[in-house]
Structure 1
Amino acid sequence: MLTRRRIMTLAAAALAGPLVPQRIWAATTMTLGPRRIDTLSDGSLVLPGDFILGGMPQAELSKIVEEFHLSTDRLTPPCNVTLLRDGTHTVLFDVGAGPDFQPTAGKLSEALAALDLTPDDITHVLFTHAHPDHLWGVLDDFDEPVFAKATHMIGRAEFDYWTDPDTVASIGAARTTFAVGAARRLGALAERLVLLDDGAEALPGIVAHLTPGHTPGHLAFEIGGADPVMVLGDCIGNHHVGFARPGWASGSDQDPEQAAQTRSALLDRLAAERVTVIGYHLPEGGIGRAERAGEGYRFVPGA
């Protein structure tokens, strides 16, 4: 079972070992007309392998584990925060983990500094969802907003779920701290939050799409144009089983069956329309495309 103690123990062990992933601050950059997109490293997570891989068909899974050189004991996915600049707006999609989740994450301030940006330069923060590695970096040590000058936006269904007092009791012991942490942070932001419904235009040319399952109100954001880009968050949460077998249920999702349906339908569209994707936990900066491959898909890195 995943617990906060287990996650923290694995993260501490990773820091002590010789194989700590190096961070690349502006890992990938792409331009879309007047827009520039950078993916910034918030560090990485350290997770028990069965958090994602547990319960999957072992015979087929073993082939994927071998192909992608995965450890079934410990996974260390990167955390890619998306930064968009268009000359008027400076937008973050999610804000990383902050200092209170895992010691291997929470490095966004360093990544921004590497681009000569400060939190006050951010005009908008768009949340895909309220899990710790996406939300917990939003408050400082005094529970004040880090991005004090920014407008913050989140899905209405996501906000309602995490601020519902019943969520803490119903989410399960493994995620209780997730619920407590989300409620505290969203409560502190409530007066400045803009709530988005499915299909809402968050900013000109940026449309929110409800992609539920990983969390109840998870949003992906489509940046429109001649070559659209989809900021995925965690609706496709890895580059291995998430692409190769999108219909498999994963313990990393709060509603595994709904998440699998969302993932399968989304990948079908992304591959057919050759939409560029940015995944929070995808490798090489997270930017690439989905292509059909055998019974599933594959992630092809590159802008």
Structure 2
Amino acid sequence: MRSPHLSLTRSVALGLVLCAGAALAQAPAQQKTQVPGYYRLAVGDYEVTALFDGYNDLAPSLLKGMKPDAIRALLARRDIDTPGVQTAFNAFLVNTGEHLILVDTGAGQCIGETAGMLTQNIRAAGYQPDQIDTVLLTHLHLDHVCGLVDADKQPVFANATVYAAKPEANYWLDPTAISRVPEQARAYFKIAQDSTAPYIAAGRFKTFAPGDSPVPEVTTALEAGHTPGSTTYRFSSKGQTILFIGDLIHSLAVQFDHPAVSIAFDENSQKAIASRDQVFTQTASQKIWVAAAHLPFPGTGHIVAIDKHFQWVPAEYGPYQRAAHVPLLK
């Protein structure tokens, strides 16, 4: 006859095993963090690091030149939630071996908790803000200049000289601008002036004529329309080239297929459309790298021309140094 004490002991042991199994089966707490926002690319001897500053949600109604239903259809093809399209703020660091150059500075403290990640991602990428010696601004909208200063309006890049094209600086930094522009625009002019002020006071804000080279490694071109002095920056090394195009495009889903669609932020929509078409056509024919401020991170890739439309071919994640392509054996 089986002992009741033995059955009880076995039942308790089985219960303990089942409890232990249940405990082991429970997953650890979710981490709810993202990887650091940087992406590295070799362009000849230059090291280009894309840096994620954050994002903002933009209403599809900001896009102009197509019927709203057509825009929503294009967004739906990419399964984009149309009440607000997530739009990245990208900046780019170029290490030429002679200079450490930052192209644009993100939105900083100007739009809230979804942006202002630039400096932490610079550090995550292995650099320090005070190592940057040159800042090139494609234009002076808040999501490109606010990162120049911290919440106390102190310079973030203590050893950098900041450059902008003369037409852009003349437009935004004119002391009389705030008193003569419409009231709804005054805050944007004040942000541009406050963000550049400490660099101007220190003698570390300089302008250049379109086509001039602020530093020897870069060539510039005026691509007016989005703003009066919107500028592209081209770096070339060992037969490879990358062009930083700023805000020539905002919407991946719409403006490659339909480059004649503008955005409400454009100062002159027709000039912006012409600049976009000219730059897209040129970069597609030259097969060069392109880096854009508002395409999905890392905002780096190639543009391909198909009839009167364009396609974006994003950079694929892979080793930093890529070996030369070797033909497959037949």
Q: What is the TM-score normalised by the length of structure 2?
A: 0.79
From the superposition, tell whether residues 246 and 194 of structure 1 become closer, same or farther in structure 2 (CA, over 3 Å).
Answer: same
Q: Contact 1:153–1:194 (CA<8 Å) still a contact in 2?
A: yes
Q: Contact 1:50–1:73 (CA<8 Å) still a contact in 2?
A: no
1:283 paired with 2:296, answer yes
Give the counterpart of 2:253 among 230, 237, 240: 240
Query: Over aligned residue pairs, what C-alpha RMSD do you find?
Result: 2.1
Q: Contact 1:79–1:96 (CA<8 Å) still a contact in 2?
A: yes
2:57 is matched with 46
Q: Contact 1:210–1:220 (CA<8 Å) still a contact in 2?
A: yes
1:195-238 alpha-carbon deviations (Å, 9 max, x no partner)? 12111112223111111111111111011231211011112233
Post-superposition offset of 1:247: 1.5
1:184 & 1:234 partners in 2: Cα distance? 21
1:83 & 1:154 partners in 2: Cα distance? 16
Identical aligned residues as a percent: 27
1:176 paired with 2:176, answer no
Q: Contact 1:212–1:262 (CA<8 Å) still a contact in 2?
A: yes
Alignment of 1:88-99 (within 5 A): 88-99=98-109
1:36-76 alpha-carbon deviations (Å, 9 max, x no partner)? 0010110111222322x255234543442222323332111
2:95 is matched with 85
1:261 & 1:216 partners in 2: Cα distance? 13
2:111 is matched with 101
From the superposition, tell whether residues 141 and 73 of structure 1 become closer, same or farther in structure 2 (CA, over 3 Å).
Answer: closer
Q: Contact 1:212–1:235 (CA<8 Å) still a contact in 2?
A: no
Q: Contact 1:214–1:252 (CA<8 Å) still a contact in 2?
A: yes
1:257 paired with 2:267, answer no
Q: Contact 1:235–1:259 (CA<8 Å) still a contact in 2?
A: yes
Q: Secondary structure at the match of 1:181?
A: helix
1:70 paired with 2:102, answer no
Task: Give the greater-gyration-radius structure (CA).
Answer: 2
The amino acid of 1:186's aligned partner reads T
1:104-158 alpha-carbon deviations (Å, 9 max, x no partner)? 0111111012123221111111111111111011113443321111111111111
2:223 is matched with 211
Greater mean alpha carbon deviation, residues 60-69 or residues 205-214: 60-69
Post-superposition offset of 1:103: 1.8
Post-superposition offset of 1:286: 0.6
1:220 is matched with 232
1:129 is matched with 139
2:40 is matched with 29
The amino acid of 2:281's aligned partner reads D
From the superposition, tell whether residues 185 and 112 of structure 1 become closer, same or farther in structure 2 (CA, over 3 Å).
Answer: same
Mark the runs of 5 or more structure 1 residues left unpaired by the alignment. Answer: 1-19
Q: What is the TM-score normalised by the length of structure 1?
A: 0.86
